[in-house]
Chains A and B, each alone.
Chain A
Amino acid sequence: MKKIFKRKEPLTDTQLLMTITIVIFFLMYLLAMLLLGGGFLRAQQIFDMLNDNASLIIVSCGLTIVMIGGGIDISVGAVTSLVVMSCAIYLNKGGNIFLSVLLAVGIGLAFGLVQGFLISYLEIQPFIVTLAGMFFARGMTTILSVDPQKVTHKGFLKLHSNKEIKIRWLGHRVPNGNIIPAEMEIGVIVALAVVILVFLLLKYGRLGRNFYAMGGNQQSALMLGINVKRTRFLSYVICGLLSGISGYVFLLHTAAGNATNAAGMEMNAIASSIIGGTLLTGGVGNVIGTFFGTLSLTTIKKIVVSSGLNDPWWQSITTGGMLCFFILLQSVVLGRRSKKKKTT
Chain B
Amino acid sequence: MKKIGRKRFRGGLGQLTIPIIAIAILAVFNLIRDPGFFEIGIAHNSDGNAVLSGNIISIINGASELAILAIGMTLVTAACGGQDISVGAAAAIAGSVFVKVLKSVPTVNGGTVLFAFVFACVVAMLFGAFNGILVAVFRIQPMIATLILYTCGRSIAYWINGGATPTIASPILSAIGGFIPGIPLPTPVIIVVAMAILFKLLFHFTSLELFTQSVGINGAAARLNGINPTLIKLLSFVLLGVCVSVSGCIGVSRLGLINHETLLLDIEMDTILAVAIGGNSLGGGRFKIGGSILGAYVIQTLTITLYAMKVSSTNVKAYKAVVIVLLVVMGSPVVKKRFSSFITRLSENRRKGLAKGAEE
Residues of A whose CB lies within 8 Å of any CB of B are: 72, 118, 121-125, 127-129, 131-136, 138-140, 142-143, 146, 259, 267, 270-271, 274, 279-281, 311-314, 316-317, 319-321, 323-324, 327-328, 331-332, 335
Count of chain B residues with Cβ under 8 Å from any Cβ of A? 47
A271 to B147, CA, bound (A): 8
Report which residue of B83, B134, B152, B163 has the largest number of chain A beta carbons within 10 angstroms of its beta carbon: B152
Are A281 and B151 in contact, with the CB atoms below 8 A? no
User: CA of A332 to CA of B13 in the docked complex: distance in angstroms?
Assistant: 43
Q: Do the beta carbons of A335 and B152 come within 8 Å of each other?
A: no
Q: A125-B276, A127-B272, A281-B141 are in contact. Are A136 and B282 (CB under 8 A)?
A: no
Which residues on B sit within 8 Å (CB–CB) of A129? 325, 328
Within 8 Å CB of A319, what residues of B?
151-152
| Stretch in contact with the other chain, from B34-42, B316-324, B351-359 | B316-324
In contact, A72 and B282 (Cβ under 8 angstroms): no
Main secondary structure of the interface of B (DSSP, over half): helix
Q: Which one of B62-70, B105-113, B237-245, B330-338 contacts A?
A: B330-338
Once bound together, how far apart are the Cα atoms of A280 and B134, in whole Å?
15
Instruction: For the complex formed, measure the closest distance between the CB of A228 and the CB atoms of chain B, giving whole angstroms.
Output: 14
Closest residue on chain B to residue A334 by CB atoms: B139
- How far apart are the CA atoms of A101 and B314 in the complex, in Å? 27
**6 new A-B pairs (CB below 8 Å) besides A129-B325, A133-B321?**
A122-B329, A139-B319, A143-B315, A319-B151, A319-B152, A321-B152
One of B134, B143, B318, B335 near A72 (C-beta < 8 A): B143
**B147 x A323 contact (CB < 8 A):** yes
Q: Is B154 close to A, CB under 8 A?
A: yes
A-B contact pairs, 5 of them (CB 8 A): A131-B273, A139-B317, A317-B155, A320-B155, A327-B134
Contact A127-B139, Cβ < 8 Å, known A118-B329, A142-B315, A270-B147 = no
Chain B residues at the A interface, C-beta cutoff of 8 Å: 83, 134, 138-141, 143-145, 147-156, 158-159, 163, 269, 272-273, 276, 282-283, 312, 314-322, 324-325, 328-329, 331-335
Which listed residue (B269, B322, B334) contacts A122, Cβ 8 A?
B334
Chain A's nearest CB lies how many Å from the CB of B153?
Answer: 8
Asked whether A313 lies within 8 Å of B147 as measured between CB atoms, the reply is no
A71 to chain B, nearest CB (A): 12
Within 8 Å CB of B328, what residues of A?
118, 124-125, 128-129, 132
Contact of A128 among B139, B141, B153, B273 (CB under 8 A): B273
Known: A142-B315, A327-B145. A128 touches B329 (CB 8 A): no
Given A118-B325, A280-B143: A324 in contact with B148 (beta carbons within 8 A): yes
